[in-house]
Amino acid sequence: MTIIAGQTVLLTGASRGIGTFIARALAKEKATIVGVSRSQEGLDKVSAEVKALGGKWISIPFDISKVEDLPILIQQINQLVGSIDILINNAGLEIYKKFQDYSIAEMQSVLTVNLMSAMELCRLLLPTMLRQRRGHIVNIASLAGKKGSPYDSIYSASKAGLLMWGDSLRQELADTGVKVSAICPGYISGEGMFADTGIPSPRLAGISTPADVANAVIRAIQQNQVEAIVNQDPVTAGMTKLLMALWQIFPRFGDTVYQWMGVAKLNQLRIENQMQIALRPSDNRSIVTAKLDARIKLTE
DSSP one-letter code for 146: T
Instruction: Supply the pTM of this predicted model.
Output: 0.86
C-alpha to C-alpha distances, 118 to 11, 87, 94, 194, 228, nearest whole angstrom: 11, 9, 15, 21, 18
8-279 CATH fold = Rossmann fold (3.40.50)
Backbone angles phi, psi at 299, to 5 degrees: -115, 130
In this prediction, residue 294 carries a pLDDT of 34
Q: Which amino acid is at 278?
A: A
Backbone angles phi, psi at 159, to 5 degrees: -75, -35
Domain coordinates of the chain in residue numbers?
A: 8-279
Q: Which of 96, 155, 187, 258 is catalytic?
A: 155
Q: How far apart are CA 265 and CA 32, in angstroms?
A: 42
Q: How far apart are CA 68 and CA 87, in angstroms?
A: 18
Tell me, yes or no, if 155 is annotated catalytic.
Answer: yes
Distance of CA 62 to the CA centre of its chain: 16
In order along its 300 residues, the chain shows pLDDT tens digits of: 899 999 999 999 999 999 999 999 999 999 999 999 999 999 999 999 999 999 999 999 999 999 999 999 999 999 999 999 999 999 999 999 999 999 999 999 999 999 999 999 999 999 999 999 999 999 999 999 999 989 999 999 999 999 999 999 999 999 999 999 999 998 887 655 445 455 566 655 567 889 999 999 999 999 999 999 997 666 777 777 788 888 888 888 888 887 877 777 788 887 777 665 444 443 333 333 333 333 333 433
In this prediction, residue 282 carries a pLDDT of 36
In this prediction, residue 295 carries a pLDDT of 36
Q: Where are the alpha helices (DSSP H) in the chain?
A: 18-28, 40-52, 70-81, 104-111, 117-132, 153-172, 193-196, 210-223, 234-249, 251-261, 263-279
